[in-house]
Structure 1
Amino acid sequence: MTHEDLIDRAKITDHVLKYATGIDWHQWDLYRSIFADEIMLDFSSWSGDPASIMPADDWVAGVRATLEPFDATQHVLTNFVIDLKEDRANCICYMAAHHHLVVDGERQMHSIGGYYVHELERAGEGWLIHKTQLNVTWEMGDRGLFELAARRGGASIA
């Protein structure tokens, strides 16, 4: 592995970690900055919906509307496996996502775990995510918290 490969691996890891940081700290500009303008998303293991291509701005707006109403979220990414091929890279990382909502004075939680597969392309000195696939391998808690959070945020989940 070359020195440049090590630098790229560090850049990709730091870049993908912004996924979790942007969501949990409600830094939506940071979250948006990690994606190409158009992205392919495959969250079928979570939602059952087929993969789709959409503008990154629409994706970020949807994630914001869904997760910002929670009292707290914590997205943990670890065990990065990065495969570099010139100006393209695949990054697989474990994930655990915890969603906390206070309901009638009591803290409720929903958690999922699994792994992401991100496809990135070099963009200038950095990288951008062009495709993201979530692979859920476990789930705990009540999914109904997402509907409660959406109502709190003034939206509804279809």
Structure 2
Amino acid sequence: MSALEDRVAVADIVAGLAHAQDDRDWAALRRLFADEVLLDLSAHHFGRPPTTVPADDLVELARGTLEGFDCTHHAASNLVVRLAGDEAECRTHMVAYHHVPAEPGVVDHCTMRGYWQLRLRKLGGRWLITHWAVVRTGPWEGSPDVYALAAARGAAQR
């Protein structure tokens, strides 16, 4: 595979990461990850320290976080890819909109602006994500409290 083909494949993974979450296609989301992923949410809403998680657990975390929203929209732009053999690193700007039904007077949406920092490795001829950092760089628009509303709604639906 040429460097250009590898860059396109990595770009497809980034787009697939956004689409799988918005489409709630958990099988497609799982196919994007290596068996273990270093997840870094330390600069995002949750403030969790980076931790290595099994990919199946990561997908369940995404499902539990996103299923309670009526809609999400993850828009990636300004993708930069750096290749080094069978490893890649990329960064993409991310604007992520989340909406959940709420009582009148309660803020029902949240938009996060920042970027995703990803590391990937070619395993078995496929590029897979091994590291995913979500970095919020701007103030929230709306309220991050919608995550709790969505989690409660998702738990009630299960």
Unaligned runs of 5+ in 1: none
Where does structure 2 lack aligned partners over 5 or more consecutive residues? Answer: none
Give the residue type in structure 2 aligned to 1:20: A
Tell me the distance in 2 between the aligned counterparts of 1:15 and 1:49. Answer: 24
**Alpha-carbon shift at residue 105 of structure 1 (Å):** 6.5
Q: Identity over the aligned pairs, expressed in percent?
A: 37
> Cα offset for 1:26?
0.7
Give the corresponding residue for 1:131: 131
Distance 2:154 2:79 in 1: 33
User: Alpha-carbon deviation of 1:125?
Assistant: 2.8
Q: CA deviation at 1:94?
A: 0.6
List per-residue Cα deviations over 1:3-38 (Å, max 9, x = no partner). Answer: 811110000000121111111001000011100001
Alpha-carbon distance in 1 for matches of 2:148, 2:48: 17
TM-score, with structure 1 as normaliser: 0.91
Deviates more, 1:23-32 or 1:116-125: 116-125
Q: Specify the alignment match of 1:64 in structure 2.
A: 63
Task: Give the counterpart letter for 2:72 in structure 1.
Answer: T
Measured after TM superposition, the shift of residue 101 of structure 1 is 1.1
Alignment of 1:1-158 (within 5 A): 4-46=2-44, 47-104=46-103, 108-138=108-138, 139-154=140-155
Q: Which amino acid aligns with 2:13?
A: H
Higher relative contact order (CA 8 A, sep 6+): 2
Give the Cα–Cα distance (whole angstroms) in 2 for the partners of residues 59 and 124 of structure 1: 21
Matches of 2:124 and 2:13, distance apart in 1: 14
Q: Once the 2 structures are TM-superposed, how far is the Cα of residue 124 of structure 1 from its aligned partner?
A: 2.6
Question: Match for 2:155: what amino acid?
Answer: G
Question: Distance in 2 between the 1:143 and 1:115 partners?
Answer: 17
Aligned CA RMSD, in angstroms, stands at 1.6
Distance 2:22 2:59 in 1: 13
- Structure 1: which amino acid aligns with 2:108? Q
TM-score for the superposition, normalised by structure 2: 0.91
> After superposition, what is the alpha-carbon deviation per residue over 1:80-129, rounded to whole angstroms, capped at 9, x for unaligned?
10000010000111101000112136882101011111000012332000
Aligned length: 153
